[in-house]
C-alpha cells in the first residue's frame, strides 16, 4: 500500500519507471478524452469526476487497474474478454501496451452515462 498522496503527480512518482510510463499514458488518455473532468485523489488513487465519478486507476505489482464502475465493465464485456476483470475493474498487465482505443471508448461511455444521470436528476428536481 502506497502512503497517502496529495496529487496524481505524487502518486505516479511513487512507482517504478515501467509503471510510471503506463500511468502517465493512462492519465493522458483520460485527460484528452474527458478534458472537462476534474482530476482528484480518491481512495488514494487517481480519479476523475465529471457529473459524478467517471473513472479511477491504480498501479499494482503486475498490472494497471482501471475502475470505470460496474456499468463500464459490463458494457464492454466482450472487448475486455482478453483481460482479467471484476465487477468494476479491469487489469492491464504491466508487460503489455495499453489498449488505448478501448480505454477511450470506455471513458466516452462513462461520460455519456454520467451526463444522462445528471440530466435525469435535474428533471426530477423540477
pLDDT in tens, 25-37: 999 999 999 999 9
The grid coordinates of residue 124 equal 426530477
pLDDT in tens, 39-62: 999 999 999 999 999 999 999 999
Model-level pTM greater than 0.75? yes
What angle separates helix 17-33 from helix 100-125, to the nearest 10 degrees? 50
Q: Which fold has domain 8-125?
A: 3.90.1150
Q: How far apart are CA 72 and CA 6, in angstroms?
A: 27
Q: Which residue has the cell 487497474?
A: 65
Query: Where are the chain's structural domains?
Result: 8-125
Q: Which residue has the cell 423540477?
A: 126
Amino acid at each position: 500500500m502506497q502512503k497517502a498522496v496529495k496529487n496524481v503527480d505524487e502518486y505516479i512518482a511513487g512507482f517504478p519507471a515501467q509503471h510510471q510510463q503506463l500511468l502517465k499514458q493512462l492519465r493522458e488518455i483520460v485527460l484528452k478524452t474527458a478534458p472537462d473532468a476534474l482530476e482528484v485523489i480518491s481512495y488514494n488513487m487517481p480519479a476523475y469526476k465529471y457529473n459524478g465519478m467517471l473513472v479511477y486507476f491504480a498501479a499494482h505489482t503486475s498490472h494497471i487497474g482501471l475502475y470505470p464502475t460496474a456499468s463500464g465493465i459490463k458494457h464492454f464485456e466482450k472487448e475486455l474478454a482478453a483481460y482479467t476483470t471484476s465487477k468494476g475493474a479491469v487489469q492491464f498487465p504491466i508487460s503489455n501496451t495499453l489498449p488505448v482505443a478501448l480505454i477511450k471508448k470506455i471513458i466516452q461511455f462513462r461520460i455519456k452515462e454520467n451526463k444522462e444521470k445528471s440530466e435525469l436528476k435535474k428533471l426530477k428536481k423540477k
